[in-house]
Amino acid sequence: MAAMLMRILTLTLLLTLVGCGDDRPDKIAQFQQLAGQRIDTLGQMLNDGQIRNAMLLKQYTSILERQNPDMAPLFGELAKDATTKGPMYTSLVNRYQALGSASNYVDLDQQLAEAENVYYAADPSLYNDMISDPLNVVADMSNGALARVNSISREAAALANGADDFGTGSQLVGNPGYGNWQTGSNGMSFWAWYGMYSMFSNVMRGPIGYDRWSSRRNYSYYNDVGRARYTSPKQATAQNKTFERTKKQFSSQGKKFDSPYAKSRTGSTSLSRQSTSTPKASTTGTRSKSSSKFRSNYSKNSNFRNSNSRTTRGVRRGK
């Protein structure tokens, strides 16, 4: 009798486990498919001039290229953010393609969270807000002749946040699309620009050290609003390593060191609903705590199942 009861209990447990199968792989595949569709649509909108801040960025850089030909290579590089050739868009494509292999992630929770982030980051309204950073950099380089968007002035934001003014281009510091944190011979980290962006060194007030920037940085869309959506797990890991290394150095000197993202800066204006509902930047790079949060986002997003189904060969080729 006891043996029969044991067999019944075992069979019941097996049936329960089958009924509660892991649905994360299916959801990852769904988000991956729809993220690809959104990226394609976003690319088409960029090509057709339907992203407002991207169009302004093209206009702004064109004006300043003529006025300041010495800086034309830098303006040309910044103008790429208004196209599918810029670091923000190409990063989305690369992250989308990486979703095809589970080996790129710590576990299914991280892969699922990344699939969700790529899907939302490709939303045209959210992307339009993201482009406000390079757009405002160009506006600042016009000495007030061109208007900023989605943000108060750099000076007003610095005053409100008790921030240092690191110079024109500082909104892009910390964004892995434009540079990265490197460690100097003294063990401290400093910001190093990629390629043509190094021309910012000509208009900035000296090298930017991670320790000072962390406590005295000004507002930027990426660092204070969009980081959770526009940072890959690998990039987030690099950011966290820089923080932990610096924190350890400060601790050895008996000093406290806070993350640059521990406190959000103020300065945004007229952001889209999609931006105001994004996760806090401090959650970037962490695993999903449970699939219940994902289900909530999945079920409530009316656009998830009805996303535009247009695709382009560029994204599909990466599958």
Domain ranges within the chain, ordered by starting residue: 27-277
Asked whether the whole model's pTM tops 0.95, one would answer no
Q: What is the pLDDT of residues 175-199, one digit of tens each?
A: 999 999 999 988 899 999 999 999 9
Residue 31 has pLDDT above 80, yes or no: yes
Among 97-101, 218-222, 259-263, 286-290, the least confident range:
286-290
In this predicted model, which residue has the larger pLDDT, 307 or 217?
217
Q: Are 128 and 272 in contact (CB under 8 A)?
A: yes
Report the C-alpha gap between 208 and 217 in whole angstroms: 10
Helix (H) or strand (E) holding 5: helix 2-19
In this predicted model, which residue has the larger pLDDT, 279 or 95?
95
Which tokens is 109 given? Answer: 């929770």
Residue 1 has pLDDT above 90, yes or no: no
pLDDT score, position 286: 45
The 3-class secondary structure across 287-302, one letter per residue, is: CCCCHHHHHHHHHHCC
The H-assigned helical ranges of 48-107 are 52-67, 72-79, 87-98
Q: What is the pLDDT of residues 88-106, one digit of tens each?
A: 999 999 999 999 999 999 9
Q: How confident is the model at residue 294 (pLDDT cuts 50, 70, 90)?
A: very low
Q: How confident is the model at residue 161 (pLDDT cuts 50, 70, 90)?
A: very high
